[in-house]
């Protein structure tokens, strides 16, 4: 069984010497990495990346690797920029590349672009141009050199965000002075499931049957317990290389399911980093020949769903007396439960059943160290009187722009009426 | 395994100043490419410094057996991404021993058009969007498609990512870097609407250089698919039914179009193209009638139309051009198997040289 799981393609990457620190990634830090990449002369062709392209047949050499790993910097200043955007379904990622005349350090140096919106369900055929605005740059772990990935959002030619563009509204919220002052931090736990290619069945599961019940798989190791680790590991290094603030990874409760965490990130960066990390994950699974799904309940029955728990804190929550601020935030969230739930991902009702470490979708609850609640507060936070909260409601297919900005809006910009607040405080036994 | 790799990648620089030049030409069908290599004293970057050569035209349907020599004139030089070092690719065109261009040589006429002083003064720029389809080797069926069946309908594949949406990206990415290395002005790539179909763009390039670069880019692509064990096709409608065809949209502008007041020049040019629609269509690629149906983002082959941001028209003008009052337009009629020498020179001829 293990042989089937071991992919025919492997990604080996070596991180550059300037590894990232744990703090949120800013354009400045990234640019200092980029400058260190400048080449001098053409020595032997050392590529830092070996992406093995296709299987070798009949022992002939696959010369595609040499081309894929070709370092063109001695021959041209040109770089390749892969523009990435979100398509019409709100969860499908699209990308195409263009040549840029020389390396860039900031998204403002990149030109706007456009694409055929009629092919992605985002514009009619007789007026099909949708404009791409570059918003965040990451290093391209597949092409190496000075080549980049560019996260974009989408606008009409007149300059209006198109309906599926959720980043524009999030950017507005994150540039509100009150929100800026509170320096909102996010740590997002992205879960995902790997499926076999020609049958819609999870990786490692016998076709026509089921693996043994959940228990041995969470953080498990071994050919009968862990399926697809190469993808998780390759993705980890690819994200670190790219400049994504990935903070960890683990095997999940359901076999074939994994999780990685991105954070702590400030404000809108959280959304940009999550979307880019999802893109990298889909490119890696594409190479290996496995299908990625972000569906929140891929298999019905006694199998865990996939979520996107969002850890959140503000400056006040992280300082002395922060626990009271956290409780007030939870109060606000309890009064807007329905608004949040409707924005927390399609199909979430199949996942939030009250079983499998979730809270029921219709009930709002909170608790310390309680994984069956909507909001969980860690024991550390309770003990130190300050820290952060974990919103366990978002589904794995949530849009991080929506979730992060909604959390900021509800806890920093929105105020309930006094009566509503008092009632809710009573219901949740919260003294605020 | 390793010994063969070492030999293929052997850097001859320290051992000899000889270089290998791969002479490339277009064969008798007008779309098949041929090449053979020779050793020369190097390094050489100027085609004028390269010797003429010849080949057996009776084996490519370009000459009779009793008088089979066809002469190759070097026209453009690029770096060889497969042999690297100082080795080169040489794009050639084909002549009789008496010095006449043979009938399949379309470059000769294009060169005449592009050296006309009126055309030179207008500095015509071209951006060509070459679409192509990848097929599995032993069955004539696109890669990633189940043999004996079809993938899910079009929708998820345009610029898509993921093992169930993008088939053959390694070929496309290897091609991108190989072209950059070679010195081809490749400006971008994307996955297309039909699964297994891709596109690359070359440009902006001036005059005849556009077509030279497209042909060499096609050659490099066919060499890469050969390595990958996949079949390349430029057929304009590889699969019948509700599946997109493959085109070679040609973006075009002249000096006057790029300057203040250019939009009027563009409109006049489009008018002239409308008057010569049948003439252009006949030269825009074999089998185009299977592709230009009026559906799948094409205009019907018998109708000439134009519009701003309209992908169902023969000619599309971008919103930017409309807004700025100057820019370029896109001729969406050429098929993926068009000859860029013919298309680029015909557009220049019709819009610059033709007096209505």
The pLDDT score that the predictor gives to residue A249 is 95
Q: Are residues B151 and B235 located together in one domain of the fold?
A: yes
Q: Are residues A284 and A308 located together in one domain of the fold?
A: yes
Question: What is the C-alpha separation between B119 and B114, in angstroms, rounded?
Answer: 6
Structure tokens, A262: 């991105």
From chain A, the residues in CB contact with B323 under 8 A are 157
The domain of B136 spans: 117-353
Structure tokens, A353: 């059943």
Q: Are residues B134 and B62 located together in one domain of the fold?
A: no
Residue A60 maps to a domain: no
Q: Are residues A138 and A226 located together in one domain of the fold?
A: no
Of A162, A184, A202, which closes a domain? A162
Structure tokens, B352: 């610059």
The pLDDT score that the predictor gives to residue A21 is 30
Residue B132 maps to a domain: yes
Residue A112: CB atoms within 10 Å: 12
Q: Tell me the whole-structure pTM to 2 decimals.
A: 0.85
Question: What is the C-alpha separation between B344 and A346, in angstroms, rounded?
Answer: 49
Q: Are residues B329 and B195 located together in one domain of the fold?
A: yes
From chain A, the residues in CB contact with B170 under 8 A are 53-54, 64, 68, 287
Helices (H), A191-314: 229-242, 269-288
Residues 6+ apart with CB under 8 A from A308: A188, A189, A190, A191, A345, A394, A395, A396, A397, A398, A400, A403
Structure tokens, A80: 């390749």
From chain A, the residues in CB contact with B228 under 8 A are 53-54, 64
Angstrom CA distances, A42 to A68, A73, B247, stand at: 18, 9, 39
Closest by CA to A182, choosing from A421, A411, A375, is: A411
Flag whether residue A121 sits within 8 Å of chain B, measured between CB atoms: yes
Task: List pLDDT tens digits, range A407-424.
Answer: 999 999 999 998 888 888
Residue B109 maps to a domain: no
Task: List pLDDT tens digits, range A370-407.
Answer: 888 999 999 999 999 999 999 999 999 999 999 999 99
Which residue among A54, A61, A70 sits closest to B8, beta carbon to beta carbon? A61
Closest by CA to A262, choosing from A280, A292, A239, is: A239
Query: Quick check: A64 and B1 CB within 8 A?
Result: no
Residue A209 maps to a domain: yes
Q: Are residues A243 and A342 located together in one domain of the fold?
A: yes
Greater confidence (A63 vs B19) lies with: B19
Q: Are residues A104 and A224 located together in one domain of the fold?
A: no
CATH code, A95: 3.10.20.70
The pLDDT score that the predictor gives to residue A43 is 33
Residue B264 maps to a domain: yes
Question: What is the C-alpha separation between A78 and B24, in angstroms, rounded?
Answer: 26
Flag whether residue A288 sits within 8 Å of chain B, measured between CB atoms: yes
Judge whether B23 and B36 are in contact, CB under 8 Å.
Answer: yes
Tokens 């055309």, residue located: B119
The pLDDT score that the predictor gives to residue A36 is 35
Query: Quick check: A282 and B227 CB within 8 A?
Result: no
Q: Are residues A260 and A300 located together in one domain of the fold?
A: yes
Query: Quick check: B310 and A62 CB within 8 A?
Result: no
Q: Are residues B338 and B223 located together in one domain of the fold?
A: yes
- The phi, psi pair for B212, rounded to 5°, reads -55, -45
Q: Are residues B195 and B157 located together in one domain of the fold?
A: yes
Closest by CA to A64, choosing from B90, B188, B172, B132, is: B172
Q: Are residues A179 and A152 located together in one domain of the fold?
A: no
The pLDDT score that the predictor gives to residue B16 is 87
The dihedral region occupied by A347, where left means phi > 0, alpha psi between -120 and 50, and beta the remainder, is left
From chain B, the residues in CB contact with A41 under 8 A are none
Stretch A176-201: mean pLDDT:
96
pLDDT of residue A28 exceeding 50: no
SS3 B80: coil
From chain A, the residues in CB contact with B160 under 8 A are 92, 94
Task: List pLDDT tens digits, range A80-96.
Answer: 999 999 999 999 999 99
Q: Are residues B30 and B84 located together in one domain of the fold?
A: yes
Which residues 180-209 in chain A show a CB within 8 A of chain B?
Answer: 197-198
Tokens 């605020």, residue located: A432
Of B39, B69, B104, which closes a domain? B104
Residue A292: CB atoms within 10 Å: 20
Residue B42 maps to a domain: yes
Q: Are residues A86 and A156 located together in one domain of the fold?
A: yes
Judge whether A211 and A255 are in contact, CB under 8 Å.
Answer: yes
Q: How many domains does chain A have?
A: 2
State the smallest CA–CA distance between residue A279 and chain B in angstroms.
Answer: 8
Q: Are residues A137 and A220 located together in one domain of the fold?
A: no
Name the strand (E) or helix (H) holding A398: none
The pLDDT score that the predictor gives to residue A371 is 85
Flag whether residue A54 sits within 8 Å of chain B, measured between CB atoms: yes
pLDDT of residue A30 exceeding 80: no
Of B104, B137, B169, which closes a domain? B104
Give strand ranges (E) for A267-307: 291-293
Residue of A nearest to B220 (CA): A67
CATH code, B61: 3.10.20.70
Question: What is the C-alpha separation between A233 and B227, in angstroms, rounded?
Answer: 29
Question: What is the C-alpha separation between B176 and A150, in angstroms, rounded?
Answer: 18
Substitution target in A66, A196, A293 with the highest count of B β-carbons within 10 Å is A66
The pLDDT score that the predictor gives to residue B4 is 80
Residue of B nearest to A79 (CA): B180
Tokens 């929506």, residue located: A402
Residue B110 maps to a domain: no
From chain B, the residues in CB contact with A62 under 8 A are 227
Tokens 């109708």, residue located: B303
Closest by CA to A342, choosing from A371, A362, A358, is: A362
State the smallest CA–CA distance between residue A372 and chain B in angstroms.
Answer: 33
CATH code, B230: 3.30.590.10
In terms of Cβ atoms closer than 10 Å to its own Cβ (0-12, 13-18, 19+), residue B154 is middle
Stretch A132-143: mean pLDDT:
97
Query: Quick check: A97 and B9 CB within 8 A?
Result: no
Query: Quick check: A63 and B186 CB within 8 A?
Result: no
- The phi, psi pair for B271, rounded to 5°, reads -60, -50
Residues 6+ apart with CB under 8 A from A317: A323, A325, A326, A329, A386, A387, A388, A389
The dihedral region occupied by A270, where left means phi > 0, alpha psi between -120 and 50, and beta the remainder, is alpha
DSSP state of B62: S
Q: Is the dihedral of CA A164, A170, A171, A176 positive or negative?
A: positive
Residue B112 maps to a domain: no
Judge whether B81 and B96 are in contact, CB under 8 Å.
Answer: no
* Crossing angle of the two packed helices A400-408 and A167-174, in degrees rounded to 10: 30
Residue A170 maps to a domain: no
Which residue among A54, A93, A286 sits closest to B163, beta carbon to beta carbon? A286
Q: How many domains does chain B have?
A: 2
Mean pLDDT taken over chain A? 86
Which residue among B8, B146, B170 sits closest to A54, beta carbon to beta carbon? B170
Residue A14: CB atoms within 10 Å: 11
From chain B, the residues in CB contact with A291 under 8 A are 162-164
Residue A25 maps to a domain: no
Greater confidence (A20 vs A102) lies with: A102
CATH code, A330: 3.30.590.10
Task: List pLDDT tens digits, range A342-375.
Answer: 999 999 999 999 888 888 899 999 999 888 899 9
Q: Are residues B155 and B219 located together in one domain of the fold?
A: yes
Stretch A250-270: mean pLDDT:
96
Greater confidence (A419 vs A2) lies with: A419
State the smallest CA–CA distance between residue B343 and chain A in angstroms.
Answer: 24
Q: Are residues A225 and A115 located together in one domain of the fold?
A: no
Q: Is the dihedral of CA A319, A324, A329, A330 positive or negative?
A: positive
Flag whether residue A102 sits within 8 Å of chain B, measured between CB atoms: no
Residue A260 maps to a domain: yes
**Residue-level pLDDT, tens digit, chain B, 356 residues:** 578 888 888 888 888 889 999 999 999 999 999 999 999 998 999 999 999 999 999 899 899 888 889 999 999 999 999 999 999 999 999 999 999 999 999 999 999 999 999 999 999 999 999 999 999 998 989 999 999 899 999 999 999 999 999 999 999 999 999 999 999 999 999 999 999 999 999 999 999 999 999 999 999 999 999 999 999 999 999 999 999 999 999 999 999 999 999 999 999 999 999 999 999 999 999 999 999 998 888 888 999 999 988 888 999 998 889 999 999 999 999 999 999 999 999 999 999 999 86
Q: Are residues B338 and B204 located together in one domain of the fold?
A: yes
Q: Are residues B49 and B158 located together in one domain of the fold?
A: no
SS3 B280: helix
Structure tokens, B224: 């890469």
pLDDT of residue A39 exceeding 50: no
Residue of A nearest to B199 (CA): A96
Residue B111 maps to a domain: no
CA B194 remoteness from chain centre: 19
Provide the pairing of β-strand B315-317 with B306-308: parallel
Q: Are residues B192 and B341 located together in one domain of the fold?
A: yes
Q: Is the dihedral of CA A242, A245, A251, A252 positive or negative?
A: negative
Question: What is the C-alpha separation between B356 and B354, in angstroms, rounded?
Answer: 6
Greater confidence (A25 vs B293) lies with: B293
From chain B, the residues in CB contact with A92 under 8 A are 156, 160
pLDDT of residue A32 exceeding 80: no
Q: Are residues B348 and B282 located together in one domain of the fold?
A: yes
The rounded radius of gyration (Å) of the Cα atoms in chain B is: 21
SS3 A50: strand
Q: Are residues A334 and A271 located together in one domain of the fold?
A: yes
SS3 A146: coil
DSSP string, A327-381: HHHHHHHHHTHHHHHHTS-TTGGGT-SS-TT---TT---EEET-TTSSEEE-HHH
The domain of A222 spans: 175-428
Give strand ranges (E) for A109-147: 113-116, 129-139
ipTM computed for the complex: 0.82
Question: What is the C-alpha separation between A79 and A140, in angstroms, rounded?
Answer: 11
Q: Are residues B208 and B169 located together in one domain of the fold?
A: yes
Question: What is the C-alpha separation between A369 and A387, in angstroms, rounded?
Answer: 13
Q: Are residues A372 and A258 located together in one domain of the fold?
A: yes
Substitution target in B6, B83, B171, B177 with the highest count of A β-carbons within 10 Å is B177
Q: Are residues A327 and A392 located together in one domain of the fold?
A: yes
From chain B, the residues in CB contact with A60 under 8 A are 4
Flag whether residue A175 sits within 8 Å of chain B, measured between CB atoms: no
From chain A, the residues in CB contact with B1 under 8 A are 56, 59, 61
């Amino acid at each position: 069984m293990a042989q089937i799981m071991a992919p025919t393609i492997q990604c080996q990457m070596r991180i550059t010497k300037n590894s990232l620190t744990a703090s949120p990634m800013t354009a400045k830090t990234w640019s200092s990495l980029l400058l260190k990449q400048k080449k001098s002369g053409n020595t032997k062709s050392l590529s830092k990346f070996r992406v093995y392209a296709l299987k070798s047949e009949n022992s002939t050499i696959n010369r595609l690797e040499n081309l894929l790993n070709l370092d063109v910097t001695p021959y041209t200043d040109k770089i390749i920029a892969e523009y990435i955007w979100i398509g019409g379904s709100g969860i499908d990622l699209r990308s195409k590349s263009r040549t840029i005349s020389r390396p860039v350090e900031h998204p403002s140096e990149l030109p706007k672009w456009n694409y055929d919106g009629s092919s992605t369900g985002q514009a009619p055929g007789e007026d099909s141009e949708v404009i791409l605005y570059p918003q965040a740059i990451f290093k391209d772990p597949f092409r190496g050199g000075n080549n980049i990935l560019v996260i974009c959002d989408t606008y009409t030619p007149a300059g209006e965000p198109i309906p599926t563009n959720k980043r524009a509204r999030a950017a507005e919220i994150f540039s509100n002075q009150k929100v800026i002052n509170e320096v909102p931090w996010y740590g997002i736990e992205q879960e995902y499931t790997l499926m076999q290619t020609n049958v819609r069945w999870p990786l490692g599961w016998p076709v026509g049957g089921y693996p043994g019940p959940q228990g041995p798989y969470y953080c498990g190791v071994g050919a009968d317990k862990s399926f697809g680790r190469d993808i998780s590991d390759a993705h980890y290094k690819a994200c670190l290389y790219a400049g994504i603030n990935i903070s960890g990874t683990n095997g999940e409760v359901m076999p074939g399911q994994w999780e990685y965490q991105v954070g702590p990130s400030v404000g809108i960066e959280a959304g940009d980093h999550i979307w880019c990390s999802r893109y990298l994950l889909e490119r890696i699974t594409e190479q290996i020949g496995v299908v990625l799904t972000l569906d929140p309940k891929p298999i019905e029955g006694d199998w865990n769903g996939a979520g996107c728990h969002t850890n959140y804190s503000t400056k006040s929550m992280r300082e002395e007396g922060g626990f009271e601020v956290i409780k007030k935030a939870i109060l606000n969230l309890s009064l807007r439960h329905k608004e949040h739930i409707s924005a927390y991902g399609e199909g979430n009702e199949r996942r939030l059943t009250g079983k499998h470490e979730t809270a029921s979708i219709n009930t709002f609850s909170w608790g310390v160290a309680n994984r069956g609640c909507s909001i969980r507060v860690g024991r550390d936070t309770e003990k130190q009187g300050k820290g952060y909260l974990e919103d366990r409601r978002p589904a794995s297919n949530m849009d991080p722009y929506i979730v992060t900005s909604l959390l900021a809006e509800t806890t920093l910009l929105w105020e309930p009426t006094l009566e509503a607040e008092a009632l809710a405080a009573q219901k949740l036994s919260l003294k605020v | 395994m390793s010994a063969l790799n070492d030999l293929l990648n052997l850097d001859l620089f320290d051992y000899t100043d000889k270089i290998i030049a791969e002479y490339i030409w277009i064969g008798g069908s007008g779309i098949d490419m041929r090449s053979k290599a020779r050793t020369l004293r190097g390094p050489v970057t100027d085609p004028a410094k390269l010797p003429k050569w010849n080949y057996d035209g009776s084996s490519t349907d370009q000459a009779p057996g009793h008088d089979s020599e066809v002469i190759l004139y070097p026209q453009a030089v690029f770096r060889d991404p497969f042999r690297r070092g100082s080795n080169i690719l040489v794009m050639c065109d084909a002549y009789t021993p008496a010095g006449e261009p043979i009938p399949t040589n379309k470059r000769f006429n294009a060169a005449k058009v592009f050296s006309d002083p009126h055309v030179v003064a207008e500095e015509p720029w071209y951006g060509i969007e070459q679409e192509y389809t990848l097929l599995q080797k032993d069955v004539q069926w696109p890669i990633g498609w189940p043999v004996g069946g079809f993938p899910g309908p079009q929708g998820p594949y345009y610029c898509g990512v993921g093992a169930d949406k993008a088939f053959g990206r390694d070929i496309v990415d290897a091609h991108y870097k190989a072209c950059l290395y070679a010195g081809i002005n490749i400006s971008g790539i994307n996955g297309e609407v039909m699964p297994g179909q891709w596109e690359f763009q070359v440009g902006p390039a001036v005059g005849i250089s556009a077509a030279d670069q497209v042909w060499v880019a096609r050659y490099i692509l066919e060499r890469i698919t050969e390595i990958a064990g996949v079949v390349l096709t430029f057929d304009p409608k590889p699969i019948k039914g509700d599946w997109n065809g493959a085109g070679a949209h040609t973006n075009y502008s002249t000096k006057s179009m790029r300057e203040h007041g250019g939009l009027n020049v563009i409109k006049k040019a489009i008018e002239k193209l409308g008057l010569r629609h049948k003439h252009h269509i006949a030269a825009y690629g074999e089998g185009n009638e299977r592709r230009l149906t009026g559906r799948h983002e094409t205009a019907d082959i018998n109708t000439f139309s134009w519009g701003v941001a309209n992908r169902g028209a023969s000619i599309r003008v971008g919103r930017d051009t409309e807004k700025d009052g100057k820019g370029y337009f896109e001729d969406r009629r050429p098929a993926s198997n068009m000859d860029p020498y013919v298309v680029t020179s015909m557009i220049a001829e019709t819009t610059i040289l033709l007096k209505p």
